[in-house]
C-alpha cells in the first residue's frame, strides 16, 4: 500500500508540475502569435481549459492528502480532544458521501459520453477523456481523506 501511495504522490506531483506550465506556455504562444498576426491557434484555449480541469481535479487529491479541504483549524483546536476526534470522523463521512455522490453521477455521464461518441469542438478528442478527470479526482480524494483520517485518529490515540 505504501508503494501505491508513493507512486500516486509522484504521478500527482509530476502531472501538476507539467500541466500548469504547459497550459501557460500554450496560452502565451497562442496570444503572442495572434497579436503579431503570424498565426491563430484555434485549439489553444480549449486545450488550456482541459488542462485547467485536470489541474483542478488532480489538485483536489493532492490537497486531500494533507486534509486541507473543509477544515477550520482554529475552531477545531479550541475543542476538547474527544470532540476533535468526532469532527474528524464527521468530516471523513461527509467527504466520502460527497465523493461517492459525485463519482456515481460522473460514471453515468462517462457512460453517456462514450455511447454518444461526442468529441471536443476544436481538438476532436473524445469528450469522455475530459470527464474522466472528475472521476479520477474524486476517487483519489476519497482514498486520500480516508487515509488522512486514519492517520489523524492514530496520532490522537498515540498522544493520549
Alpha-carbon span 132 to 140, nearest angstrom: 12
DSSP string, 102-149: HHHHHHHHHHHHHHHT-B-TTT--BHHHHHHHHHHHHHHHHHHHHHHH
Grid coordinates belonging to 69: 479541504
**pTM score above 0.85:** no
Q: Is 14 helix (H, G, I), strand (E, B) or coil?
A: helix
Q: What integer is the mean pLDDT of 7-21?
A: 88
- Domain positions in the chain: 2-159
φ, ψ for residue 126, nearest 5 deg: -60, 130
* Residue 74 pLDDT exceeds 70: yes
pLDDT tens digit sequence for 79-118: 888 888 888 788 888 888 888 999 999 999 999 999 999 9
Count helices and strands in the chain by DSSP H and E runs: 5, 0
Q: How confident is the model at residue 155 (pLDDT cuts 50, 70, 90)?
A: confident
Amino acid at each position: 500500500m505504501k508503494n501505491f501511495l508513493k507512486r500516486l504522490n509522484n504521478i500527482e506531483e509530476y502531472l501538476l508540475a507539467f500541466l500548469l506550465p504547459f497550459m501557460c506556455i500554450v496560452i502565451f504562444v497562442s496570444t503572442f502569435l495572434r497579436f503579431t498576426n503570424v498565426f491563430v491557434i484555434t485549439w489553444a484555449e480549449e486545450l488550456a481549459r482541459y488542462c485547467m480541469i485536470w489541474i483542478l481535479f488532480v489538485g483536489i487529491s493532492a490537497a486531500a492528502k494533507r486534509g486541507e479541504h473543509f477544515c477550520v483549524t482554529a475552531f477545531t483546536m479550541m475543542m476538547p480532544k474527544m470532540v476533535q476526534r468526532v469532527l474528524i470522523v464527521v468530516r471523513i463521512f461527509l467527504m466520502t458521501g460527497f465523493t461517492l455522490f459525485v463519482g456515481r453521477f460522473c460514471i453515468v455521464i462517462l457512460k453517456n459520453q462514450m455511447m454518444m461518441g461526442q468529441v471536443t469542438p476544436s481538438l476532436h478528442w473524445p469528450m469522455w477523456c475530459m470527464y474522466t478527470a472528475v472521476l479520477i479526482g474524486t476517487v483519489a480524494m476519497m482514498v486520500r481523506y480516508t487515509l488522512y483520517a486514519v492517520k489523524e485518529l492514530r496520532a490522537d490515540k498515540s498522544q493520549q
